């Protein structure tokens, strides 16, 4: 049995008229008659009593009716699900992201989710010590990272996101923030050079510009550990303002605007995932 037979059976069951069923489905009446005959042959029962004046369901037809409706509904739902997947309205979106880019990505995903709530989003943390090259085989649709991490920019499409300014992070209260002239005596807690060489270089450049060598008492590979110790009063740090501002125990004093991380979103030109193609308009609104 096939769907056309099921649709014909349902149409005749509803109209109790072969001509009316044919009109409803937009096919010749002979097609309806043939499909009903074929369906009855396959089932080995009569589904309708037919006279010159009317058409009625047999007992077997009434028993078969809810199952036929279930088959038609399942086919419709399956077709809808496949079409949604093909168009990108469902499926999955895979993104690799550095810590500094997370707040920007969060805003984008909030808007995207409102339009496409069925898409599953898979996130992978990307160390700022890694580089993105053309020969990467990582199964990501997008990379949110520093511009300097993109070693083969000609082989990727990318857009600039909002620059993330850096600031001096210190334990609350705000009135005790140090000025540059007093930082030489402060203990520093940094993200390690291995985990974020670009941030580390920016921090060291700031210190050299103000003619002091930072007294580094500890380094960590994750920003949460840096914020924990800074918030506990064990030292100060230089961090992206958007990350440090997320800690209730830490206050951030922004540095001059030249101290900032240039964040980008990158993707391969051969973007085959339909869900990723639907994400692009949201991404390009930030450019």
Average pLDDT over residues 201-205: 93
Nearest C-alpha neighbor of 259 from the set 208, 212, 199, 177: 199
Q: Per-residue pLDDT tens for 113-145?
A: 998 898 999 999 888 888 776 555 557 899 999
Give the residue-averaged pLDDT of 222-238. 94
Mean pLDDT on 63-89 = 74
Q: Which stretch of 135-139, 181-185, 258-262 has the lowest confidence by average pLDDT? A: 135-139
Residue 80 has, within 13 A of its CA and on its CB side, a CA count of 7
Interior/surface letters 236-257, b for 16+ CB within 10 angstroms, e for the rest: bbbbbbbbbbebeebbbbebee
* Residue in this structure with the two tokens 């109209």, named with its chain if needed: 15
Domain positions in the chain are 3-87, 90-162+262-284, 164-261
What is the pLDDT at residue 30?
A: 92
Q: How confident is the model at residue 177 (pLDDT cuts 50, 70, 90)?
A: low
Domain 3-87: which topology?
Arc Repressor Mutant, subunit A (1.10.10)
Q: Model confidence at 220, in pLDDT bands (50, 70, 90)?
A: very high
Domains 90-162+262-284 and 164-261 alike in fold: yes
β-bridge partners, 150: 132
Count Cβ neighbours within 10 Å for each residue of 192-220 and write b for 16 or more, e otherwise: beebbbbbbebbbebbeeeebebeeeebb
- Please tell me the distance from the alpha carbon of residue 136 to that of residue 156, in angstroms, as a whole number: 11
| Alpha-carbon gap, residue 198 to 240, rounded angstroms | 12
Q: Name the band, by pLDDT with cuts 50, 70 and 90, for residue 79.
A: low
Mean pLDDT estimate for the chain: 87
Phi-psi label, residue 26: left if phi above 0, alpha if psi -120 to 50, beta otherwise: left
CATH number of this structure's domain 90-162+262-284: 3.40.190.10
Identify the pLDDT of residue 257.
Answer: 86
Superfamily of domain 164-261: Periplasmic binding protein-like II (3.40.190.10)
Bridge partners, 157 (sequence order): 267
> Which pLDDT belongs to residue 82?
63
pLDDT score at 153: 77
Residue 122: predicted pLDDT: 93
Q: Tell me the percentage of the chain whose pLDDT exceeds 90.
A: 51
pTM of the model: 0.65
> Residue 80 above 60 pLDDT?
no
- The predicted pLDDT at position 159 comes to 92
pLDDT over threshold 80, residue 175? no
Tokens of 14: 């509803």
pLDDT at 135: 56
Least confident of 14-18, 71-75, 78-82: 78-82
Rounded to whole angstroms, the Cα distance separating 229 from 93 reads: 35
**Is it the case that residue 15 has pLDDT exceeding 70?**
yes
| Least confident range of 7-21, 85-99, 208-222 | 85-99
Cis peptide before 173 (omega within 30 of 0): yes
């Amino acid at each position: 049995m096939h769907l056309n037979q099921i649709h014909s059976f349902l149409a005749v069951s509803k109209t109790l008229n072969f001509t009316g069923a044919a009109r409803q489905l937009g096919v010749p009446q002979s097609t309806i008659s043939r499909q009903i005959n074929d369906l009855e042959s396959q089932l080995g029962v009569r589904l309708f009593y037919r006279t010159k004046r009317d058409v009625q369901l047999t007992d077997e037809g009434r028993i078969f009716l809810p199952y036929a409706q279930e088959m038609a509904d399942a086919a419709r739902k399956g077709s809808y699900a496949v079409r949604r997947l093909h168009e990108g309205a469902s499926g999955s979106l895979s993104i690799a992201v550095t810590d500094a880019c997370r707040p920007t990505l969060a805003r984008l995903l909030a808007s995207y989710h409102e339009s496409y709530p069925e898409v599953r989003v898979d996130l992978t943390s990307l160390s700022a010590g890694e580089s993105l090259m053309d020969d990467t085989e990582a199964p990501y649709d997008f990379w949110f990272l520093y511009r300097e991490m993109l070693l083969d920019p000609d082989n990727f499409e990318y857009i600039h996101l909002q620059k993330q300014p850096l600031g001096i992070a210190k334990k609350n209260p705000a009135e005790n923030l140090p000025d540059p002239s007093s930082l030489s005596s402060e203990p520093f807690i940094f993200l390690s050079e291995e985990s974020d060489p670009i941030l580390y270089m920016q921090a060291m450049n700031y210190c050299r510009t103000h003619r002091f060598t930072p007294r580094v008492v500890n380094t960590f590979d994750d920003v949460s550990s840096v914020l924990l110790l800074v918030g506990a009063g064990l030292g100060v740090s230089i961090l992206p303002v958007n990350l440090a501002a997320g800690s209730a125990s830490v206050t951030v004093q922004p540095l001059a605007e030249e101290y900032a991380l240039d964040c980008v979103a990158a993707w391969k030109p051969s973007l085959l995932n339909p869900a990723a193609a639907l994400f692009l308009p949201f991404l390009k609104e930030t450019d």
